[in-house]
């Protein structure tokens, strides 16, 4: 999983592994960390560059990008 912009600042690092089964579980896992709670509420999550529904299983080798809103389009 890769954190971008404000998500990176909140996480304190750029990348970390995850064993979450799907995005819903990943969101819950991250939201339980006080520094990431607000970020997770507004972030977009891309899996291998695509938007997936929260209940779709994550492939074991997926690259997940955590993208908070940012200015500049």
Q: How confident is the model over 11-56, as pLDDT tens digits? A: 999 999 999 999 999 999 999 999 999 999 999 999 999 999 999 9
pLDDT at 72: 57
pLDDT at 69: 87
For domain 2-67, the CATH architecture is: Roll (3.10)
In 3D space, the residue among 52, 6, 11, 5 whose CA is nearest the CA of residue 29 turns out to be 11
**Alpha carbons 57 and 59: distance in angstroms, whole number:** 6
Q: What is the mean pLDDT of residues 64-72?
A: 84
pLDDT at 70: 76
pLDDT at 71: 54
């Amino acid at each position: 999983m890769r954190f971008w912009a404000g998500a990176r600042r909140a996480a304190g690092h750029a990348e970390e592994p995850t064993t979450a089964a799907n995005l819903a579980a990943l969101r819950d896992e991250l939201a339980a960390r006080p520094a990431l709670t607000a970020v997770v509420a507004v972030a977009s999550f891309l899996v291998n560059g695509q938007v997936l529904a929260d209940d779709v299983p994550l492939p074991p080798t997926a690259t997940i990008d955590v993208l908070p809103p940012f200015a500049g389009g």
